[in-house]
Amino acid sequence: MPFRWNPREHVALAHYVLKWLLIAAPVGAIIGSAVALFLWALEKATQLRWATDTRSGLPWLLFLLPIAGIGIGLMYSLLGKSVEAGNNLIMDQIHEPGGGVPSRMAPLVLIGTIVTHLFGGSAGREGTAIQMGGSIASTVGRALKFDRAVTRTLLMIGIAAGFGAVFGTPLTGAIFAVEVLAIGLVDFQSIMPCLIGSIVGDWATRAWGINHQQYSLAAFGHMALIQSSLELNWLLLAKVAIAAVAFGLASVLFAELTHGLQRVFKRVIPWQAFRPALGGAIVIALAFLIAPDYLGLGVKPDPNYPNQVCIVSTFHAGGATYLSWWWKILFTAITLSSGFKGGEVTPLFFVGAALGNAMARLLHAPIDLFAALGFVAVFAGATNTPLACTIMGIELFASAQTDLVHSGLVIYLATACFLAYMMSGHSGIYLSQRIGTPKLCSTEYPADASLRSARESRPRFGSGLATIFAAPTDSDGTPPDAK
Protein backbone atom coordinates (compact mmCIF):
# COMPACT_ATOMS: atom_id res chain seq x y z
CA MET A 1 0.00 0.00 0.00
CA PRO A 2 1.62 3.29 -1.06
CA PHE A 3 1.95 6.03 1.50
CA ARG A 4 -0.09 9.07 0.50
CA TRP A 5 0.31 12.51 2.02
CA ASN A 6 -0.71 16.00 0.99
CA PRO A 7 1.60 18.48 2.73
CA ARG A 8 -0.42 21.44 1.43
CA GLU A 9 -3.37 20.33 3.53
CA HIS A 10 -1.31 20.33 6.71
CA VAL A 11 0.24 23.69 5.89
CA ALA A 12 -3.27 25.10 5.39
CA LEU A 13 -4.43 23.59 8.69
CA ALA A 14 -1.41 25.03 10.51
CA HIS A 15 -2.14 28.42 8.96
CA TYR A 16 -5.78 28.14 10.12
CA VAL A 17 -4.80 27.39 13.72
CA LEU A 18 -2.17 30.14 13.80
CA LYS A 19 -4.60 32.68 12.32
CA TRP A 20 -7.22 31.96 14.95
CA LEU A 21 -4.66 31.89 17.72
CA LEU A 22 -3.76 35.47 16.81
CA ILE A 23 -7.42 36.50 16.59
CA ALA A 24 -9.13 34.46 19.31
CA ALA A 25 -6.55 34.93 22.06
CA PRO A 26 -6.82 38.75 22.33
CA VAL A 27 -10.60 38.65 21.83
CA GLY A 28 -10.86 36.03 24.59
CA ALA A 29 -8.70 38.18 26.88
CA ILE A 30 -10.94 41.21 26.32
CA ILE A 31 -14.11 39.20 26.92
CA GLY A 32 -12.63 37.52 29.99
CA SER A 33 -11.74 40.92 31.45
CA ALA A 34 -15.26 42.19 30.76
CA VAL A 35 -16.72 39.12 32.45
CA ALA A 36 -14.43 39.69 35.44
CA LEU A 37 -15.81 43.22 35.75
CA PHE A 38 -19.35 41.85 35.52
CA LEU A 39 -18.79 39.14 38.16
CA TRP A 40 -17.13 41.63 40.50
CA ALA A 41 -20.02 44.07 40.13
CA LEU A 42 -22.54 41.25 40.54
CA GLU A 43 -20.92 40.16 43.81
CA LYS A 44 -20.91 43.73 45.11
CA ALA A 45 -24.58 44.19 44.15
CA THR A 46 -25.55 40.96 45.92
CA GLN A 47 -23.65 41.92 49.07
CA LEU A 48 -25.29 45.34 49.06
CA ARG A 49 -28.74 43.79 48.80
CA TRP A 50 -27.94 41.41 51.66
CA ALA A 51 -26.83 44.39 53.76
CA THR A 52 -30.35 45.85 53.52
CA ASP A 53 -32.09 42.82 55.05
CA THR A 54 -34.95 43.58 57.42
CA ARG A 55 -36.34 41.51 60.28
CA SER A 56 -38.79 39.86 57.89
CA GLY A 57 -35.88 38.47 55.89
CA LEU A 58 -36.72 40.66 52.90
CA PRO A 59 -34.16 43.30 51.89
CA TRP A 60 -35.69 46.75 51.73
CA LEU A 61 -34.10 47.21 48.30
CA LEU A 62 -36.54 44.59 47.06
CA PHE A 63 -39.40 47.06 47.46
CA LEU A 64 -37.74 49.27 44.85
CA LEU A 65 -37.68 46.44 42.30
CA PRO A 66 -40.69 47.78 40.31
CA ILE A 67 -39.06 51.21 40.04
CA ALA A 68 -35.78 49.61 38.98
CA GLY A 69 -37.75 47.63 36.41
CA ILE A 70 -39.19 50.81 34.94
CA GLY A 71 -35.65 52.14 34.64
CA ILE A 72 -34.51 49.01 32.80
CA GLY A 73 -37.57 49.12 30.58
CA LEU A 74 -36.99 52.77 29.68
CA MET A 75 -33.30 52.14 29.01
CA TYR A 76 -34.08 49.33 26.55
CA SER A 77 -37.06 51.06 24.95
CA LEU A 78 -34.96 54.17 24.26
CA LEU A 79 -31.52 52.67 23.58
CA GLY A 80 -31.79 48.93 23.26
CA LYS A 81 -34.59 48.00 20.88
CA SER A 82 -32.05 46.56 18.46
CA VAL A 83 -30.50 44.32 21.14
CA GLU A 84 -33.60 43.32 23.10
CA ALA A 85 -33.52 39.80 21.60
CA GLY A 86 -30.32 39.09 23.56
CA ASN A 87 -28.86 35.63 23.02
CA ASN A 88 -31.31 34.94 20.21
CA LEU A 89 -29.93 37.92 18.28
CA ILE A 90 -26.42 36.47 18.48
CA MET A 91 -27.64 33.08 17.24
CA ASP A 92 -29.58 34.68 14.39
CA GLN A 93 -26.45 36.56 13.32
CA ILE A 94 -24.45 33.32 13.35
CA HIS A 95 -27.04 31.48 11.25
CA GLU A 96 -27.71 34.35 8.86
CA PRO A 97 -25.06 37.08 9.14
CA GLY A 98 -26.48 40.54 8.65
CA GLY A 99 -25.89 43.79 10.48
CA GLY A 100 -23.99 42.13 13.29
CA VAL A 101 -24.48 42.57 17.03
CA PRO A 102 -24.52 46.24 18.11
CA SER A 103 -21.74 47.39 20.43
CA ARG A 104 -24.28 48.87 22.83
CA MET A 105 -25.48 45.40 23.79
CA ALA A 106 -22.56 44.87 26.20
CA PRO A 107 -23.02 47.94 28.44
CA LEU A 108 -26.83 47.74 28.34
CA VAL A 109 -27.03 44.11 29.44
CA LEU A 110 -24.30 44.68 32.05
CA ILE A 111 -26.20 47.56 33.64
CA GLY A 112 -29.57 45.83 33.32
CA THR A 113 -28.35 42.63 34.97
CA ILE A 114 -26.59 44.38 37.86
CA VAL A 115 -29.73 46.43 38.56
CA THR A 116 -31.88 43.30 38.40
CA HIS A 117 -29.74 41.51 41.00
CA LEU A 118 -29.24 44.57 43.18
CA PHE A 119 -32.98 44.89 43.75
CA GLY A 120 -33.68 41.17 44.13
CA GLY A 121 -34.82 39.92 40.73
CA SER A 122 -34.36 36.19 40.18
CA ALA A 123 -32.04 35.85 37.20
CA GLY A 124 -28.76 34.33 36.13
CA ARG A 125 -25.51 35.52 34.62
CA GLU A 126 -24.74 33.39 31.57
CA GLY A 127 -26.97 35.43 29.29
CA THR A 128 -25.12 38.59 30.25
CA ALA A 129 -21.71 37.01 29.68
CA ILE A 130 -22.72 35.59 26.30
CA GLN A 131 -24.25 38.86 25.16
CA MET A 132 -21.19 40.81 26.26
CA GLY A 133 -18.97 38.29 24.48
CA GLY A 134 -21.02 38.44 21.29
CA SER A 135 -21.13 42.23 21.33
CA ILE A 136 -17.37 42.54 21.86
CA ALA A 137 -16.60 39.94 19.20
CA SER A 138 -18.89 41.61 16.67
CA THR A 139 -17.35 45.00 17.42
CA VAL A 140 -13.88 43.60 16.78
CA GLY A 141 -15.07 42.07 13.52
CA ARG A 142 -16.44 45.38 12.28
CA ALA A 143 -13.34 47.31 13.36
CA LEU A 144 -11.04 44.92 11.52
CA LYS A 145 -13.46 44.61 8.57
CA PHE A 146 -13.62 40.83 8.65
CA ASP A 147 -15.83 39.06 6.14
CA ARG A 148 -19.03 37.25 7.11
CA ALA A 149 -17.41 33.84 7.54
CA VAL A 150 -14.76 35.15 9.94
CA THR A 151 -17.33 37.26 11.80
CA ARG A 152 -19.55 34.19 12.22
CA THR A 153 -16.70 32.33 13.89
CA LEU A 154 -15.91 35.40 15.98
CA LEU A 155 -19.46 35.40 17.35
CA MET A 156 -19.06 31.75 18.30
CA ILE A 157 -15.82 32.67 20.08
CA GLY A 158 -17.78 35.35 21.93
CA ILE A 159 -20.24 32.72 23.16
CA ALA A 160 -17.45 30.33 24.14
CA ALA A 161 -15.32 32.91 25.94
CA GLY A 162 -18.28 34.44 27.76
CA PHE A 163 -19.67 31.12 28.90
CA GLY A 164 -16.31 29.58 29.82
CA ALA A 165 -15.23 32.68 31.75
CA VAL A 166 -18.43 33.22 33.72
CA PHE A 167 -18.54 29.65 35.06
CA GLY A 168 -14.84 28.79 35.07
CA THR A 169 -15.42 25.92 32.62
CA PRO A 170 -13.33 26.60 29.48
CA LEU A 171 -13.84 23.23 27.79
CA THR A 172 -17.58 23.44 28.37
CA GLY A 173 -17.61 26.94 26.91
CA ALA A 174 -16.03 25.73 23.67
CA ILE A 175 -18.32 22.70 23.33
CA PHE A 176 -21.38 24.76 24.23
CA ALA A 177 -20.63 27.32 21.52
CA VAL A 178 -20.50 24.71 18.74
CA GLU A 179 -23.37 22.57 20.08
CA VAL A 180 -26.01 25.16 21.02
CA LEU A 181 -26.57 26.54 17.52
CA ALA A 182 -28.44 23.54 16.10
CA ILE A 183 -30.03 20.52 17.77
CA GLY A 184 -28.26 17.33 16.77
CA LEU A 185 -25.43 19.07 14.90
CA VAL A 186 -22.04 20.07 16.25
CA ASP A 187 -19.89 22.49 14.22
CA PHE A 188 -16.48 21.05 15.00
CA GLN A 189 -14.87 23.15 12.27
CA SER A 190 -15.00 26.07 14.71
CA ILE A 191 -14.00 24.13 17.81
CA MET A 192 -10.34 25.21 17.81
CA PRO A 193 -11.02 28.98 17.67
CA CYS A 194 -13.73 28.56 20.32
CA LEU A 195 -11.41 26.54 22.55
CA ILE A 196 -8.67 29.16 22.29
CA GLY A 197 -11.08 31.96 23.09
CA SER A 198 -12.67 30.09 25.98
CA ILE A 199 -9.37 29.09 27.58
CA VAL A 200 -7.94 32.60 27.33
CA GLY A 201 -11.23 34.12 28.52
CA ASP A 202 -11.26 31.91 31.61
CA TRP A 203 -7.58 32.67 32.25
CA ALA A 204 -8.19 36.42 32.00
CA THR A 205 -11.11 36.27 34.43
CA ARG A 206 -9.06 34.34 36.96
CA ALA A 207 -6.09 36.69 36.42
CA TRP A 208 -8.28 39.51 37.70
CA GLY A 209 -8.73 37.59 40.95
CA ILE A 210 -12.23 36.26 40.31
CA ASN A 211 -12.93 32.91 41.97
CA HIS A 212 -15.74 30.52 41.15
CA GLN A 213 -17.91 28.43 43.46
CA GLN A 214 -16.42 24.99 44.16
CA TYR A 215 -18.55 21.85 44.55
CA SER A 216 -17.66 18.44 45.96
CA LEU A 217 -19.47 15.12 46.04
CA ALA A 218 -19.03 13.33 49.34
CA ALA A 219 -21.04 10.34 48.10
CA PHE A 220 -18.09 9.07 46.10
CA GLY A 221 -15.93 9.17 49.17
CA HIS A 222 -18.01 6.82 51.27
CA MET A 223 -20.05 4.77 48.78
CA ALA A 224 -18.87 2.19 46.28
CA LEU A 225 -21.06 3.54 43.51
CA ILE A 226 -19.03 1.80 40.84
CA GLN A 227 -15.89 -0.30 40.66
CA SER A 228 -15.44 -0.54 36.90
CA SER A 229 -17.47 -0.10 33.74
CA LEU A 230 -18.45 -3.80 33.96
CA GLU A 231 -19.61 -3.50 37.57
CA LEU A 232 -22.09 -0.67 37.36
CA ASN A 233 -24.52 -0.13 40.18
CA TRP A 234 -27.50 -0.91 37.95
CA LEU A 235 -30.10 -0.02 40.56
CA LEU A 236 -28.54 3.41 41.00
CA LEU A 237 -28.34 3.84 37.23
CA ALA A 238 -32.06 3.04 36.97
CA LYS A 239 -32.78 5.68 39.60
CA VAL A 240 -30.68 8.16 37.63
CA ALA A 241 -32.76 7.40 34.53
CA ILE A 242 -36.01 8.01 36.42
CA ALA A 243 -34.70 11.29 37.77
CA ALA A 244 -33.49 12.29 34.28
CA VAL A 245 -37.04 12.05 32.96
CA ALA A 246 -38.10 14.52 35.67
CA PHE A 247 -35.14 16.76 34.81
CA GLY A 248 -36.15 16.86 31.14
CA LEU A 249 -39.78 17.67 31.93
CA ALA A 250 -38.70 20.39 34.37
CA SER A 251 -36.67 22.02 31.59
CA VAL A 252 -39.75 22.05 29.36
CA LEU A 253 -41.80 23.61 32.16
CA PHE A 254 -39.19 26.33 32.68
CA ALA A 255 -38.91 27.18 28.98
CA GLU A 256 -42.63 27.11 28.23
CA LEU A 257 -43.59 29.08 31.33
CA THR A 258 -41.02 31.77 30.51
CA HIS A 259 -42.08 32.05 26.86
CA GLY A 260 -45.77 31.95 27.74
CA LEU A 261 -45.54 34.59 30.46
CA GLN A 262 -43.56 36.85 28.15
CA ARG A 263 -46.49 36.84 25.74
CA VAL A 264 -48.93 37.47 28.60
CA PHE A 265 -46.94 40.48 29.84
CA LYS A 266 -46.88 41.93 26.32
CA ARG A 267 -50.64 41.56 25.99
CA VAL A 268 -51.45 42.96 29.42
CA ILE A 269 -49.02 45.91 29.24
CA PRO A 270 -48.30 47.10 25.67
CA TRP A 271 -45.74 49.66 26.83
CA GLN A 272 -42.40 47.95 27.38
CA ALA A 273 -41.19 50.18 30.22
CA PHE A 274 -43.99 49.17 32.60
CA ARG A 275 -43.86 45.40 32.16
CA PRO A 276 -40.92 44.99 34.59
CA ALA A 277 -42.83 47.09 37.15
CA LEU A 278 -45.66 44.55 37.18
CA GLY A 279 -43.18 41.67 37.25
CA GLY A 280 -41.32 43.28 40.14
CA ALA A 281 -44.53 43.72 42.12
CA ILE A 282 -45.39 40.04 41.62
CA VAL A 283 -41.90 38.99 42.75
CA ILE A 284 -42.29 41.07 45.93
CA ALA A 285 -45.64 39.41 46.63
CA LEU A 286 -44.17 35.95 46.08
CA ALA A 287 -41.25 36.71 48.39
CA PHE A 288 -43.76 37.69 51.09
CA LEU A 289 -45.93 34.63 50.58
CA ILE A 290 -43.27 31.98 49.91
CA ALA A 291 -39.76 32.95 51.02
CA PRO A 292 -36.93 35.31 50.06
CA ASP A 293 -34.74 32.29 49.29
CA TYR A 294 -35.52 32.48 45.58
CA LEU A 295 -34.41 36.07 45.01
CA GLY A 296 -31.19 36.94 43.19
CA LEU A 297 -28.66 34.47 41.85
CA GLY A 298 -29.20 31.79 44.49
CA VAL A 299 -25.73 30.22 44.47
CA LYS A 300 -24.90 30.93 48.13
CA PRO A 301 -27.15 31.75 51.10
CA ASP A 302 -27.55 35.21 52.53
CA PRO A 303 -25.00 35.27 55.41
CA ASN A 304 -27.71 36.77 57.64
CA TYR A 305 -29.90 33.71 56.97
CA PRO A 306 -27.53 30.74 56.52
CA ASN A 307 -30.39 28.23 56.32
CA GLN A 308 -31.77 29.69 53.11
CA VAL A 309 -32.29 27.34 50.18
CA CYS A 310 -29.60 27.86 47.55
CA ILE A 311 -27.56 25.80 45.12
CA VAL A 312 -24.91 24.99 47.71
CA SER A 313 -27.50 23.88 50.27
CA THR A 314 -29.21 21.47 47.86
CA PHE A 315 -26.16 19.19 48.03
CA HIS A 316 -27.04 18.35 51.64
CA ALA A 317 -29.97 16.64 53.34
CA GLY A 318 -32.54 19.18 54.43
CA GLY A 319 -31.07 21.81 52.11
CA ALA A 320 -34.22 22.14 50.00
CA THR A 321 -37.92 21.40 50.16
CA TYR A 322 -39.78 19.18 47.74
CA LEU A 323 -41.06 22.28 45.92
CA SER A 324 -37.94 24.47 45.98
CA TRP A 325 -37.31 23.72 42.32
CA TRP A 326 -40.80 24.92 41.37
CA TRP A 327 -40.54 28.15 43.33
CA LYS A 328 -37.26 29.01 41.61
CA ILE A 329 -38.86 28.36 38.22
CA LEU A 330 -41.76 30.66 39.09
CA PHE A 331 -39.62 33.49 40.48
CA THR A 332 -37.25 33.37 37.51
CA ALA A 333 -39.91 33.04 34.82
CA ILE A 334 -41.73 36.11 36.14
CA THR A 335 -38.51 38.10 36.48
CA LEU A 336 -37.17 37.41 32.99
CA SER A 337 -40.44 37.33 31.06
CA SER A 338 -41.47 40.73 32.40
CA GLY A 339 -38.31 42.37 31.03
CA PHE A 340 -35.61 42.20 33.69
CA LYS A 341 -32.16 41.23 32.45
CA GLY A 342 -29.89 38.32 33.25
CA GLY A 343 -29.49 34.72 32.21
CA GLU A 344 -31.44 31.53 32.65
CA VAL A 345 -28.64 29.06 33.24
CA THR A 346 -27.79 29.69 36.91
CA PRO A 347 -31.50 29.54 37.85
CA LEU A 348 -31.63 26.29 35.86
CA PHE A 349 -28.72 25.04 37.98
CA PHE A 350 -30.77 25.92 41.07
CA VAL A 351 -33.88 24.22 39.68
CA GLY A 352 -31.97 21.09 38.71
CA ALA A 353 -30.05 20.79 41.97
CA ALA A 354 -33.21 21.32 44.05
CA LEU A 355 -35.17 18.82 41.95
CA GLY A 356 -32.25 16.37 42.25
CA ASN A 357 -32.37 16.80 46.01
CA ALA A 358 -36.10 15.98 46.00
CA MET A 359 -35.71 13.01 43.64
CA ALA A 360 -32.88 11.60 45.74
CA ARG A 361 -35.10 11.56 48.81
CA LEU A 362 -37.96 9.97 46.90
CA LEU A 363 -35.72 7.32 45.35
CA HIS A 364 -33.46 6.80 48.40
CA ALA A 365 -30.35 7.79 46.47
CA PRO A 366 -27.28 9.91 47.35
CA ILE A 367 -28.49 13.49 47.67
CA ASP A 368 -25.29 15.24 46.60
CA LEU A 369 -24.94 12.99 43.55
CA PHE A 370 -28.48 13.63 42.36
CA ALA A 371 -28.18 17.35 43.07
CA ALA A 372 -25.10 17.38 40.84
CA LEU A 373 -26.90 15.41 38.12
CA GLY A 374 -29.90 17.71 38.22
CA PHE A 375 -27.57 20.73 38.20
CA VAL A 376 -26.38 19.92 34.68
CA ALA A 377 -29.24 17.77 33.33
CA VAL A 378 -32.01 20.39 33.55
CA PHE A 379 -29.63 22.78 31.81
CA ALA A 380 -29.00 20.12 29.13
CA GLY A 381 -32.72 19.76 28.49
CA ALA A 382 -33.40 23.49 28.39
CA THR A 383 -30.53 24.30 26.01
CA ASN A 384 -30.37 21.01 24.05
CA THR A 385 -26.64 20.69 24.75
CA PRO A 386 -26.14 17.29 26.44
CA LEU A 387 -22.49 16.93 25.42
CA ALA A 388 -21.49 20.34 26.82
CA CYS A 389 -23.41 19.67 30.03
CA THR A 390 -21.74 16.31 30.54
CA ILE A 391 -18.37 18.02 30.13
CA MET A 392 -19.49 20.74 32.55
CA GLY A 393 -20.32 18.11 35.15
CA ILE A 394 -16.79 16.76 34.83
CA GLU A 395 -15.20 20.21 35.06
CA LEU A 396 -17.29 21.27 38.05
CA PHE A 397 -17.56 18.09 40.08
CA ALA A 398 -14.53 16.03 39.11
CA SER A 399 -11.87 18.72 38.95
CA ALA A 400 -11.12 18.73 42.68
CA GLN A 401 -10.86 14.96 42.95
CA THR A 402 -9.44 13.32 39.86
CA ASP A 403 -10.51 9.85 40.98
CA LEU A 404 -14.13 10.85 40.39
CA VAL A 405 -13.52 10.65 36.65
CA HIS A 406 -12.67 6.99 37.05
CA SER A 407 -15.34 6.27 39.65
CA GLY A 408 -18.26 6.22 37.25
CA LEU A 409 -19.49 9.77 37.68
CA VAL A 410 -19.16 10.31 33.94
CA ILE A 411 -21.60 7.49 33.22
CA TYR A 412 -24.21 8.91 35.55
CA LEU A 413 -23.66 12.41 34.19
CA ALA A 414 -24.03 11.30 30.58
CA THR A 415 -27.12 9.24 31.33
CA ALA A 416 -28.81 12.12 33.11
CA CYS A 417 -27.87 14.76 30.52
CA PHE A 418 -28.68 12.82 27.36
CA LEU A 419 -31.94 11.37 28.67
CA ALA A 420 -33.06 14.78 29.94
CA TYR A 421 -32.16 16.17 26.50
CA MET A 422 -34.36 13.57 24.81
CA MET A 423 -37.25 14.12 27.22
CA SER A 424 -37.23 17.88 26.70
CA GLY A 425 -38.45 17.39 23.15
CA HIS A 426 -38.11 20.23 20.66
CA SER A 427 -38.38 22.96 23.26
CA GLY A 428 -35.75 25.21 24.79
CA ILE A 429 -34.92 28.60 26.21
CA TYR A 430 -33.26 29.81 22.97
CA LEU A 431 -35.98 30.13 20.32
CA SER A 432 -33.44 30.98 17.59
CA GLN A 433 -31.80 27.58 18.03
CA ARG A 434 -32.19 25.52 14.86
CA ILE A 435 -33.30 21.91 14.53
CA GLY A 436 -30.39 20.33 12.68
CA THR A 437 -31.38 16.72 13.32
CA PRO A 438 -34.79 16.11 14.94
CA LYS A 439 -34.77 13.99 18.09
CA LEU A 440 -37.22 11.63 16.40
CA CYS A 441 -37.34 10.70 12.72
CA SER A 442 -40.27 12.87 11.75
CA THR A 443 -41.35 15.15 8.93
CA GLU A 444 -43.08 17.43 11.43
CA TYR A 445 -40.06 19.73 11.61
CA PRO A 446 -38.63 20.98 8.28
CA ALA A 447 -34.90 21.16 7.74
CA ASP A 448 -33.19 24.01 9.56
CA ALA A 449 -36.40 25.09 11.32
CA SER A 450 -36.00 27.19 14.44
CA LEU A 451 -37.41 26.30 17.84
CA ARG A 452 -39.55 29.41 17.49
CA SER A 453 -41.32 28.04 14.42
CA ALA A 454 -41.52 24.57 15.97
CA ARG A 455 -43.13 26.01 19.07
CA GLU A 456 -45.67 28.01 17.07
CA SER A 457 -46.63 24.90 15.08
CA ARG A 458 -47.46 22.90 18.22
CA PRO A 459 -51.04 22.85 19.51
CA ARG A 460 -51.82 24.73 22.68
CA PHE A 461 -51.88 22.74 25.90
CA GLY A 462 -55.67 22.43 26.12
CA SER A 463 -56.20 21.59 22.47
CA GLY A 464 -53.37 19.07 22.63
CA LEU A 465 -55.05 17.21 25.50
CA ALA A 466 -58.37 17.36 23.65
CA THR A 467 -56.73 15.69 20.66
CA ILE A 468 -55.23 12.94 22.78
CA PHE A 469 -58.47 12.10 24.59
CA ALA A 470 -60.81 12.69 21.65
CA ALA A 471 -63.02 9.78 20.58
CA PRO A 472 -61.56 7.75 17.68
CA THR A 473 -62.98 8.41 14.22
CA ASP A 474 -62.80 6.74 10.83
CA SER A 475 -61.20 8.33 7.80
CA ASP A 476 -64.42 10.21 7.02
CA GLY A 477 -64.53 11.70 10.53
CA THR A 478 -67.50 9.63 11.68
CA PRO A 479 -67.23 7.89 15.09
CA PRO A 480 -67.19 4.08 14.61
CA ASP A 481 -70.16 3.60 16.96
CA ALA A 482 -72.35 5.85 14.85
CA LYS A 483 -72.31 3.51 11.87
Judge if 243 and 137 occupy the same domain.
Answer: no
Structural domain containing residue 369: 219-435
Look at residue 228 in the predicted model and tell me its pLDDT. Answer: 47
Per-residue pLDDT at 219: 57
Count of CB atoms situated within 10 Å of the CB of 437: 11
Final residue in a domain of this structure, among 207, 239, 258: 207
Same domain assignment for residues 287 and 164: no
Least confident of 19-28, 402-411, 465-474: 465-474
Give the mean pLDDT of 407-412. Answer: 80
Any idea what the CATH number is for the domain that residue 252 is in? Answer: 1.10.3080.10
The yes-or-no verdict on residue 341 having pLDDT over 60 is: yes
User: Do residues 271 and 326 both lie within one domain?
Assistant: yes
Question: Percent of the chain having pLDDT more than 70?
Answer: 90
Number of domains in the chain: 2
Q: Which of 256, 282, 288 is nearest to 269 (CA)?
A: 282
Q: How confident is the model at residue 461 (pLDDT cuts 50, 70, 90)?
A: low
- Does 251 lie in the same domain as 200? no
Residue 9 inside a domain? The answer is no
Quick: pLDDT tens for 263-307: 999 999 999 889 999 999 999 999 999 999 999 999 999 998 999
What pLDDT sits at residue 84? 87
- Distance, CA of 279 to chain centre: 21
Q: Which of 129, 137, 189, 62 is nearest to 346 (CA)?
A: 129
Q: Answer whether residue 387 shows pLDDT above 80.
A: yes
End-to-end CA distance of the chain: give it in Å, rounded.
73
Query: Rg of the Cα trace of the chain?
Result: 23
Q: 246 and 157: one domain?
A: no
Residues 200 and 264 in one domain: no
Does residue 471 lie within any of the structural domains? no
| Residue 189 burial (10 A CB sphere; 0-12, 13-18, 19+) | exposed
What is the mean pLDDT of the segment spanning 78-97? Answer: 89
Give residue-wise pLDDT tens across range 175-186: 999 999 999 889
Instruction: For residue 221, give Cα distances in angstroms to 166, 216, 243, 299, 365.
Output: 29, 10, 22, 24, 15
Taking only the tens place, the pLDDT of each residue in 121-164 is: 999 998 999 999 999 999 999 999 999 999 999 999 999 999 99
The answer to whether residue 1 scores a pLDDT higher than 60 is no
Q: Examine the domain organization and report whether 191 and 293 are in the same domain.
A: no
Same domain? For 292 and 355 the reply is yes
- How many other C-beta atoms lie within 10 A of the C-beta of residue 56? 10
Q: Is residue 479 scored above 50 in pLDDT? A: no
Indicate whether 229 pLDDT > 50.
no
Longest dimension (CA), the chain: 82
pLDDT band at 468 (very low <50, low <70, confident <90, very high): very low
Residue 256, in any domain of the structure? yes
- Quick check: 414 pLDDT over 90? yes
Q: 62 vs 114, 310, 329, CA distance in Å?
A: 14, 18, 19
- Domain membership flag for residue 464: no
Q: Looking at the domain assignment, is residue 257 inside a domain? A: yes
SS3 content of the chain, % helix, strand, coil (to 5): 65, 0, 30
Judgement on whether residues 203 and 348 belong to the same structural domain of the protein: no
Quote the pLDDT of residue 442.
Answer: 63
Angle between helix axes 7-50 and 126-143 (nearest 10 degrees) is 130
CA atoms within 13 Å, Cβ hemisphere of 371: 30
At residue 208, the pLDDT reads 96
Q: Average model confidence (pLDDT) for the chain?
A: 89
Which whole-number Å values give the CA distances from 316 to 216, 251, 364, in the listed order? 11, 23, 14
Could you say which of 187, 207, 227 is where a domain stops?
207
Residue 175 · residue 388 · CB < 8 Å: yes
How far is the CA of 339 from the CAs of 116, 404, 437, in angstroms? 10, 41, 32
Distances (CA, A) of 1 to 4, 9: 9, 21
Q: Are 197 and 311 in the same domain?
A: no
Write the single-letter amino acid at 464: G
Mean pLDDT, residues 458-472: 56
Instruction: Judge whether 448 lies within some domain.
Output: no
**Residue 96 pLDDT grade (very low, low, confident, very high; cuts 50, 70, 90):** confident
Residues 230 and 190 in one domain: no
> Is 252 part of a structural domain of the chain?
yes
Same domain flag for 410 and 383? yes
**Any domain includes 213:** no
Q: Whose CA is closest to 370, among 199, 244, 469, 280?
A: 244
409 pLDDT band, cuts 50/70/90, is: confident
How distant, in Å, are the alpha carbons of 5, 8, 16, 17, 193 from that of 11?
A: 12, 5, 9, 10, 17
